[in-house]
């Protein structure tokens, strides 16, 4: 069964090879009517688009993986996490000529729609899932479609049947809380990310537990949205309080830098009157003054590991959940003991 | 000419429909040997991968556009520009179900290789080109392939035959220089991005010209690499100089924030002893203290416009180069007159 060529289509349509090429490649050079006629004839003849390239690859794979990021654009814009993750993914994918399809969606429904479309149109061989939520319908969907998937987050047992790269946030949280307690802090507030993210709940439970262990007087968690503006608002409220905290732990670097700005604006000295810790280190934490103590994670490495896990999964190899290196406390100039002023 | 179905392939291979499905979809469930045999039979029968989905779309298009970012991962990680551009692109593409293929490459050769592969494998309908270089071989390559392309940058006449979205950097530069001169600054240094970017040269020429117009005594341009570390190093050198500048203009926000940190470290008060301006506003400039005066551009809007231009180009409509809104000076707390201390 010989495949039809452009010459066959040109003959059948009574047009030049060039016109067929323009029509098939979606380029200008033929009228819409001619284009439609040529495409109809190509379909009738069983023409396979783009010859060898879009035909079956030897292993039946597409050579692309997908990543949907479902966070508001404003939350993404300045947070290095996302770009670091993409860099890590790319470091593995580029070498094998695997494309990364990226979607930034505005809500979970749009994210699910992207997975459905990618699966139906066979756009990707698999996906990397981030920002695991408390009631996460994506894991069910991905198992049903089925679309091979690896998850960033989850726990040692995986993420609802999907292999995951998880990290022991609880252990890192204990380290941070005991460090602040050792510096003499008794009233610590944590400015967390949105409650619907699963890692937020894990960290909240660990924060509460560690605070009790360390004998803190007060250890409240308040929720914000990872944006600079959100961090600014909540910090202003916290620091305006009569019984204000002496240490604040932020769930991302951007909110921590925003908090540092509010302290400066309100004339509260860091660290002699207020200690600040960021969860997730980044160049921001190093650049600002005072530099910000942070819980550092190797996000690029996580991206690379997720890409390798997904590649193995797509190849049909067994893939087990893996633990990534846990966050490491990097003390800088934003934390210290309270000094009696 | 009826297309072969999974049933045909299963019969010919003497296996179940399920096994064929596993093999064709690159999923686990069949041995490698069986997979290879099924794929060989599928190819022999002229099976079209993934049925209707990967066959011709009605307009002969793939439904995907590509973006290659050829900057070191470290330079990308904290600079909001890239994420803002992607957000803007996505805001237009998502609605039409168009995928964005992203590659982060380590050198121009890898970027060219990505374009060649995308064109050969028909992975994308077109590409958005960023970071136009002085001797840019990509424009030639894209015209040759041919792969429809729109360029961010360039000038009113386009970018070597490709339609572009350009901005009048020279006008914005004149505004910044005259503003600093009006504040009384006579010794201004500009910390620019790499010389091989074309917009760097445009800004350098405008900076020199505006400085002469405004009667500055000294207006030097030094080159760095857009990273925080690069900004830190060059600022430390500048401020350690006996005849140090009283105002520094940085070509991106990250270097400006780094410069602010160095000033704090060296005990140089901003703005009373040193004014700092960032080209490209971002949440960073607003969050740090003092907040950083910046040249603001609507990067999200540029992304959306580039996506619309590329969509029209791919549809065969005529596309002309467009001018985007020029950068606007947003004065904040990092600029002011020198005060005699």
**Same domain as A210, residue A137:** no
Is residue B328 in a domain? no
**Same domain as A291, residue A179:** yes
Q: How far is A210 from chain B (nearest CA, A)?
A: 30
pLDDT tens-digit profile of B158-183? 898 999 999 999 999 999 999 999 99
**Same domain as B82, residue B45:** no
CB contact under 8 A, A228 and B286: yes
CATH of the domain at B209: 3.40.50.2300
- Contact partners, residue A96, CB within 8 Å, separation at least 6: A311
CA dist B74 and A95 (Å) reads 19
Residues B48, A46 contacting (CB under 8 angstroms) = yes
CA dist A101 and B102 (Å) reads 6
Residues A122, B49 contacting (CB under 8 angstroms) = yes
**Same domain as A307, residue A211:** no
Distance set, CA A200 to CA A77, A114, A206, B16 (Å): 21, 25, 10, 46
**Same domain as B138, residue B151:** yes
On the question of pLDDT at A271 being above 70, the answer is yes
Mean pLDDT of B8-21: 85
Residues B128, B89 contacting (CB under 8 angstroms) = yes
Q: How far is B207 from chain A (nearest CA, A)?
A: 27
- Chain A partners of B26 at a C-beta cutoff of 8 Å? 59-62, 125, 314-316
Taking every pair of Cα atoms in chain B, the longest distance, rounded to a whole number of angstroms, is 91
| DSSP state, residue B95 | G
Backbone φ, ψ for residue A137 (5° rounding): -85, -10
What is the band of B25 on the pLDDT scale with cuts at 50, 70, 90?
A: low
**Same domain as B94, residue B145:** yes
**A-proximal residues of B, 245-264, CB under 8 Å:** 254, 257-258, 260-261, 264
The pLDDT, as a whole number, for residue A11 is: 87
Interface predicted TM-score (ipTM): 0.79
CATH of the domain at B46: 1.10.260.40
**Same domain as B310, residue B161:** yes
**Same domain as B126, residue B40:** no
CB contact under 8 A, B110 and A117: no
- Chain B partners of A28 at a C-beta cutoff of 8 Å? 316
DSSP-based helix, strand, coil % in chain B, nearest 5: 45, 15, 40
The pLDDT, as a whole number, for residue B55 is: 40
**Same domain as B280, residue B259:** yes
The pLDDT, as a whole number, for residue B47 is: 63
Residues B244, B272 contacting (CB under 8 angstroms) = no
**Higher pLDDT among residues A189 and B28, named by residue:** A189
Structural domain span for residue A131: 64-167+299-323
CA dist B8 and B341 (Å) reads 88
What is the band of A76 on the pLDDT scale with cuts at 50, 70, 90?
A: low
Mean pLDDT of B24-29: 66
Is residue B337 in a domain? no
Is residue B290 in a domain? yes
Is residue A260 in a domain? yes
Looking at the DSSP bridge assignments, the partners of residue B165 are B152, B322
Lowest-confidence region among A175-179, B131-135, B206-210: B131-135
The pLDDT, as a whole number, for residue A48 is: 57
Mean pLDDT of A312-330: 94
Within 10 angstroms of residue B325's Cβ, the number of other Cβ atoms is: 13
**Same domain as B130, residue B243:** no
pLDDT tens-digit profile of B275-319? 999 998 988 899 999 999 999 999 999 999 999 999 999 999 999
Radius of gyration of chain B from its Cα atoms, rounded to whole angstroms: 26
**B-proximal residues of A, 41-60, CB under 8 Å:** 42-50, 53-56, 58-60
Interface test with A, best of B90, B287, B289, B333 (most A CBs within 10 A): B287
pLDDT tens-digit profile of A143-188? 999 899 999 999 888 899 999 999 999 999 999 999 999 999 999 9
Q: How far is B121 from chain A (nearest CA, A)?
A: 5
Backbone φ, ψ for residue A218 (5° rounding): -145, 135
Q: How many CB pairs under 8 A join A and B?
A: 230
Closest in B100, B254, B260 to A101, CB measured: B100
Chain B contact present for A287, CB below 8 A: yes
Backbone φ, ψ for residue B25 (5° rounding): -95, 5
CB contact under 8 A, A99 and B101: yes
**Same domain as B152, residue B218:** no
Mean pLDDT of B219-243: 95
CA dist B151 and B34 (Å) reads 47
**Same domain as B273, residue B314:** no
- Chain A partners of B125 at a C-beta cutoff of 8 Å? 26
């Amino acid at each position: 069964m010989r495949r039809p060529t452009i010459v066959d289509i040109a003959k059948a349509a009574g047009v030049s090879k060039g016109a067929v090429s323009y029509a098939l490649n979606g380029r200008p050079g033929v009228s819409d009517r001619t284009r439609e006629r040529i495409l109809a004839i190509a379909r009738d003849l069983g023409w396979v688009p783009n010859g060898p390239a879009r035909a079956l690859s030897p292993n039946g794979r597409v050579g692309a993986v997908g990543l949907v990021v479902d966070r508001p654009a404003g939350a993404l814009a300045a947070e290095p996490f996302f770009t670091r993750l993409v860099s890590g993914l790319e470091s593995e994918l580029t070498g094998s000529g695997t494309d990364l399809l990226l979607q930034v969606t505005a809500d979970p429904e749009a994210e699910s729609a992207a997975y459905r479309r990618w699966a139906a149109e066979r756009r990707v061989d698999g996906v990397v899932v981030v920002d695991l939520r408390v009631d996460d319908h994506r894991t069910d969907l991905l198992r049903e479609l089925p679309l091979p998937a690896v998850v960033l987050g989850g726990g040692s047992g995986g993420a609802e049947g999907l292999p995951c790269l998880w990290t022991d946030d609880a252990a890192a949280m204990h380290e941070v809380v005991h460090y602040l307690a050792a510096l003499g802090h008794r009233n610590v507030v944590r400015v967390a990310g949105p409650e619907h993210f699963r890692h937020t709940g894990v960290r909240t439970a660990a924060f509460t537990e560690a605070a009790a262990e360390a004998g803190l007087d007060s250890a409240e968690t308040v929720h914000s949205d990872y944006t600079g503006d959100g961090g600014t608002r909540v910090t202003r409220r916290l620091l305006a309080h009569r019984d204000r905290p002496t240490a604040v732990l932020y769930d991302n670097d951007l909110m921590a830098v925003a908090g540092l700005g509010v302290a400066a604006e309100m004339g509260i000295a860091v660290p002699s009157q207020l200690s600040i810790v960021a969860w997730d280190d980044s160049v921001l934490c190093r650049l600002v003054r005072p530099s910000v103590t942070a819980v550092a994670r190797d996000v690029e490495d996580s991206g690379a590991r997720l890409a390798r896990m997904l590649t193995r999964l797509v190849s049909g190899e067994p893939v087990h959940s893996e633990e990534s290196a846990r966050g490491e406390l990097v003390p800088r100039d934003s934390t210290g003991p309270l000094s009696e002023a």
